[in-house]
Amino acid sequence: MIRFRPKLFDTLPGYGRAAFTQDFSAGITVGVLALPLAMAFAIASGMSPTAGIWTAIVAGFLIAALGGSHVQIGGPTGAFIPIVYAIVVDYGVQNLLIATMMSGVMLLAMGAFRLGSMIRFIPVSVVIGFTNGIAVVIFISQIKDFLGLSIDSVPGEFFGKMEVLFGAVGTMNVPTVAVAVASLAVLLSWNRVAARVAWMRRLPGPLAVLIIATAVNALFQMPVDTIGSRFGGIPQELPSIGLPDLSLGTLGKLIAPAVTIALLGAIESLLSARVADTLIDNRHDPNQELMAQGIANIAAPLFGGFAATGAIARTATNIRTGGRTPVAGVVHSLVLLAVVLALAPLASHIPLATLSAIVVIVSVNMGEWHAFSWKELKRYSAQYRLILLGTFFVTVVFDLTLAVELGMALASLFFIYRMSDLTRIERIPLEDHYGVEALSRPDGTPRILAYGVFGSLFFGAANKLEDLMLMQDGHPDVVILDLEKVINIDTTGLDALQTLHRTLQKRGADLILCDLNAQPASIVVRSGFRDTLGEGRVVANLTEALLRAQRMRGHEPELSYV
């Protein structure tokens, strides 16, 4: 049953002035921080700064109002830059908007069918690999604007991109580099200085450098690219609402990009919500969060926006400045709306080099670079290192979707190998029950072999039963399998048991199963294998199995059983 209940509904009862004051203050702070980031991420993605701002306004409002986290702040993020840029280059802006809406439908369905917890199945090695890979791709994407290179368009493909960038190094613009380096210096030093100056602590570094660079450029008219010179400024009006141009012939081509956007959006939003939970000692609803992300990604393109998700940095800022309910996220969107309607003309003077410097800092900060040190890598297995480095390499050189697919495939294969390696079958010495070896007694006692199975009897380990089929220990009258330590049997494992049973039948021998746990017992019963084995062939324990084995062969059990 679909359950739709935003966290906002849970926080409004009893909501008072003190809570609103905290949320309002936090919302203003996050709103002014989101302004430069939204423009910078949009430009780096091949979109207009206006698209980034309206993505933050519309998606940010819906994610806060309808989400499953108390403090999540949504909007465009750095992680989407390489994906969105590649889609724009390959398919165009209109098809990006369609792919974004398709991803929204996918996210909404994932939340509605309660698949939120499944995102946590992605191994940390894959997450670190593609996160750091995305950081490198973002960094490379800023070289053009950071250095002021004269390039009409940068290819989305890695090798083509590097070839174009190296070929244009001679066109470097010195004033642009000076603005970018100065902006970078301010960003790196702002928090350090702000720790000693009270008023500076209230002004986020990205907003501070944006104000400074814009004011200097407005006064001195520096020969650098600005939002006004490249995009014609930001309209001081509400955008027209409408569906992007839809062509049924392109929908099939957009499925893969839409899946990529949905997958990354789900991962990043739920990762951000989990980080927020640890900071406020609360728990988010992953399925409600995915539904809100879906609705936001369906709605944002109607206003000219693009892909959005939960933003870890802005969410953490919201928490640090006192935000504790979704009201703070709603205020953050309204602040952005007010800034656009009141101050949009001033944005024409913002240097693109300054926005590039902001994105460079974001790319450096989003990567977990310590995970790539040899000191850290050698602590883990070779499989972990291969997954991490492989995912990173494929993300940078090829494609995020391919990288996640490769990482998940490698992780699954290594898991299967490890689980199959842990599954083992060992001979149980029956001297503990008979006092002598049971296989070759001269007094007519039936020949009985017993084996203990340990682990999971699944498709990766079903071949472990092949040795029993070969009967390397001789040809017994009865084979007993003690399954007390078996935690799971899948259909392939069941098929192996059925094959063993048929092999024994052909040789005139019987198979008895004992000590089945809940899941193995369930599949043995549901599949009809218990009936196939026959009455008394599935018993409670090894002692009962030995008694049953002798009686099946017409021999009265001895009294020395334990």
pLDDT tens digits, residue range 83-95? 899 899 888 899 9
Average pLDDT, rounded, for the chain: 87
**What is the value of pTM for the model shown?**
0.78
Say if 390 falls within a structural domain: no
Q: How many helices (H) and strands (E) in the chain?
A: 25, 7
pLDDT at res. 242: 81
Co-location of 362 and 257 in the same domain: yes
Co-location of 445 and 340 in the same domain: no
Say if 4 falls within a structural domain: no
pLDDT at res. 299: 96
> Rounded to an integer, what distance in angstroms lies between the CA atom of residue 515 and that of residue 237?
73
Co-location of 261 and 141 in the same domain: yes
For the record, the structure tokens of 58 come out as 């519309």
Strand partners, 310: 74
> Rounded to an integer, what distance in angstroms lies between the CA atom of residue 499 and that of residue 465?
9
Give the DSSP H or E segment for 480. strand 478-489
Co-location of 364 and 478 in the same domain: no
Strand partners, 453: 425
Co-location of 453 and 365 in the same domain: no
> Rounded to an integer, what distance in angstroms lies between the CA atom of residue 50 and that of residue 35?
10
Co-location of 251 and 370 in the same domain: yes
> Rounded to an integer, what distance in angstroms lies between the CA atom of residue 368 and that of residue 521?
45
pLDDT at res. 251: 82
pLDDT at res. 558: 53
Supply the CATH number for residue 447's domain: 3.30.750.24
Say if 413 falls within a structural domain: no
> Rounded to an integer, what distance in angstroms lies between the CA atom of residue 28 and that of residue 210?
17
Say if 135 falls within a structural domain: yes
Say if 2 falls within a structural domain: no
Say if 392 falls within a structural domain: no
pLDDT at res. 138: 85
pLDDT at res. 560: 40
Domain boundary among 376, 392, 412: 376
**What are the residue ranges in the chain where pLDDT is below 50?**
435-440, 442, 559-562
| Residue 532 lies in domain | 424-552
The number of distinct structural domains making up the chain is 2
Q: Please state the length of the chain.
A: 562
Query: Which backbone phi and psi does 517 adopt, to 5 degrees?
Result: -80, 180
**Alpha carbon distance, N-terminus to C-terminus of the chain:** 51
Co-location of 457 and 368 in the same domain: no
Domain boundary among 341, 376, 411: 376
pLDDT at res. 180: 94
Co-location of 338 and 438 in the same domain: no
Strand partners, 452: 426, 482
Say if 418 falls within a structural domain: no
3-state secondary structure 12-53: CCCCCHHHHHHHHHHHHHHHHHHHHHHHHHHHHCCCCHHHHH
Say if 154 falls within a structural domain: yes
Co-location of 351 and 430 in the same domain: no
From the centroid of its chain, how far is CA 510?
49
Domain boundary among 343, 376, 409: 376
